[in-house]
Structure 1
Amino acid sequence: MNPETEQNIMTHEEKFTLNTLQTFTGYDFEAYRHRGEAFRQRQSGAVLNALQLPDSWRTDCEMRGEWGGAHPVHLRLTRADVAGLVVELVSPSSDSPLWCAVLTDAHTRSRVPLSVSYHFEPATLRTTLEKIAEYTRAGFTGDGELVAALRMGGHAA
């Protein structure tokens, strides 16, 4: 655990805030995760709450390592109107200090980085997710069309 942020490790009664999510290091997230499934669920719930996603996005979070267990917070965001499209968001961990969001398109088997940052930036990610929703509603759902539109619009790396 990082001694500078040791006081940030929360008790079960304390609430996660956006500031908490933004100041936790990968080691802080790991320490909190190792306190048990309920604590890991609180972390994931806090991230989802900060994202304030519209109802058009479905959410799922890793609880027991079912997606590899490499990150304390690992979310999968999907849209009901577009099969095979997944946005994965992972928190910092002991192996990486970065928040990463990646779009996976099962039809093209492509993975496109949407954001990589040292800080959790829910407003920026929410804007990208809104753009994905806009593009898919406009019909950019064929092989590679969404990825091309996101890149041309500056919403993907």
Structure 2
Amino acid sequence: MNNNNALNLSVLTAMHPCEFEEWRERGENDRHILTSAVAQLLHVPAGWMVNGEYRGEFGGFFPVQLRYTPPGEAFSLCVCSPGDVSGEWLIVLISADGDCVREVLRLTPFDPQRISGLIAAAAQACLLEHSAAGMAEYLAEGEYA
């Protein structure tokens, strides 16, 4: 795949893990394009921050990693693409202190509606002031459409 192909939903859902890795290997600019394409398909709740990894800021484990963080920054939801580490999309909750790291959703193919639903559920659950572990438990048990 080259940069001239539009990275729309149908392209992203059809990509294999090795294709995500190829995008990463082409460098920071192409990784930025790929990460931005994913981010544009996901909804961000009001007041939340989104940070994408373009170099190795978050460890460099995934070709795409977006961190969605609520006000107060008690945790982040990390949206991670397929690649060498996993053949599936992973959404992982990481507490601000790093004591809680938990997978809350795993899916194939890319499904922005389900991922956005999970982020929206987290935004609503933030009002209940769960601990990071409690939030992870709540999100891991949910169904998002």
Same fold by TM-score greater than 0.5: yes
Report if the CA contact (8 A) 2:69-2:77 is conserved: yes
Q: TM-score, normalised by structure 2?
A: 0.86
Counterpart CA distance in 1 for 2:46 and 2:79 is: 18
1:34 paired residue among 12, 18, 25: 25
Quick check: which has more Rg, 1 or 2? 1
Q: Which residue of 2 aligns with 1:49?
A: 40
Asked if the contact 2:104/2:136 (under 8 Å) is kept, the reply is no
Partners of 2:132 and 2:108 lie apart in 1 by 31
Counterpart contact for 2:68–2:76, Cα < 8 Å:
yes
RMSD of aligned residue pairs (Cα, Å): 2.2
Displacement of 1:17: 0.4
Aligned-residue identity in percent: 26
C-alpha contact (below 8 Å) 1:107/1:143 kept by paired residues: no
Match of 2:14 in 1: 23
Q: Higher RCO, 1 or 2 (CA under 8 Å, sep at least 6)?
A: 2
Alpha carbons 2:45, 2:119 under 8 Å: kept: no
* 2-structure distance, mates of 1:85, 1:93: 24
SS in 1 for 2:110: coil
Cα separation, 2, equivalents of 1:99 and 1:110: 20
> CA distance change for structure 1 residues 15 and 55 in 2, over 3 Å: closer, same or farther?
farther
Partner in structure 2 of residue 6 of structure 1: none
Q: Is 1:10 matched up with 2:2?
A: yes
Question: Runs of 5+ in structure 2 lacking a partner?
Answer: none
1:54–1:17: structure 2 CA closer, same or farther, 3 Å change rule? same
Q: List aligned pairs for 1:2-151, cutoff 5 A.
A: 9-11=1-3, 13-80=4-71, 82-106=72-96, 109-137=99-127, 139-142=128-131, 144-151=133-140
- Unaligned regions of 5+ residues in structure 1, if any? 1-8
Contact 1:140/1:149 (<8 A) preserved: no
TM-score of the two chains, using structure 1 as the length reference: 0.80
